[in-house]
């Protein structure tokens, strides 16, 4: 009887752990920026979402890596928050006003790449900030 109870507890623990760990997802996304201030701004915007477990933006590669709880947030809302602080990415273009308010060192080259962004993004999630 004792073995059956211990086996049941072990099975339940494994089941619960696998469900919780399966909800963590990671993605990489192209995010524009130039300097350490950009890195801090981008990572701070992402980490403001309490469902984000980690965020790291590579200055040299211009790639943001994010791990998050997929049951509570998604890539779209995370990348939207990045655009809202002035950084174009593969799904969203920052508003001209927010971009213009960035420090001069943070103003990256900004060609009209909306067609390229739309081509690379999930068509169900492409939006533009106004």
Per-residue confidence in pLDDT tens, the chain, 130 aa? 677 776 667 666 666 665 555 599 999 999 999 999 999 999 999 999 999 999 999 999 999 999 999 999 999 999 999 999 999 999 999 999 999 999 999 999 997 655 555 555 544 444 444 3
32 domain residue, yes or no = yes
Name the residue range of residue 89's domain: 24-108
Q: Which helix (H) or strand (E) holds 26?
A: strand 24-30
Which CATH number is 71's domain given? 3.30.70.100
Number of domains forming the structure of the chain: 1
Instruction: Please tell me the predicted confidence (pLDDT) of residue 4.
Output: 75
Give 105's DSSP letter: G
86 domain residue, yes or no = yes
Q: Which helix (H) or strand (E) holds 27?
A: strand 24-30
Cα 100 to Cα 62, 85, 93, 109, distances in angstroms:
20, 11, 13, 12
1 domain residue, yes or no = no
13 domain residue, yes or no = no
Q: Among 111, 52, 104, which residue's Cα sits nearest to residue 82?
A: 52
Instruction: Please tell me the predicted confidence (pLDDT) of residue 89.
Output: 97
2 domain residue, yes or no = no
> Which two structure tokens, joined as six digits, stand for 44?
């701070």
Q: 47: exposed, middle or buried (C-beta count within 10 Å: 0-12, 13-18, 19+)?
A: middle
10 domain residue, yes or no = no
Instruction: Please tell me the predicted confidence (pLDDT) of residue 126.
Output: 42
57 domain residue, yes or no = yes
**Burial 102-122, CB ≥16 within 10 A → b, else e:** beeebbbeeeeeeeebeeebe
Euclidean distance between CA atoms 61 and 15, whole angstroms = 38
121 domain residue, yes or no = no
């Amino acid at each position: 009887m004792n073995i059956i109870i211990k086996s049941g507890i072990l099975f339940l623990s494994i089941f619960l752990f696998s469900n919780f760990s399966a909800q963590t997802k990671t993605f990489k996304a192209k995010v524009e920026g130039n300097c350490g201030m950009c890195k801090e701004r981008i990572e701070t915007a992402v980490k403001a979402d309490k469902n984000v477990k980690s965020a790291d933006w590579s200055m040299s590669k211009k790639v943001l890596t994010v791990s998050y709880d997929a049951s509570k947030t998604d890539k779209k809302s995370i990348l939207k928050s990045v655009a809202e602080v002035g950084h174009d990415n593969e799904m969203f273009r920052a508003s001209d006003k927010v971009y213009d308010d960035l420090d001069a060192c943070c103003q990256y080259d900004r060609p009209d790449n909306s067609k390229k962004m739309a081509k690379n993004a999930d068509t169900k999630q492409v939006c533009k900030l106004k």
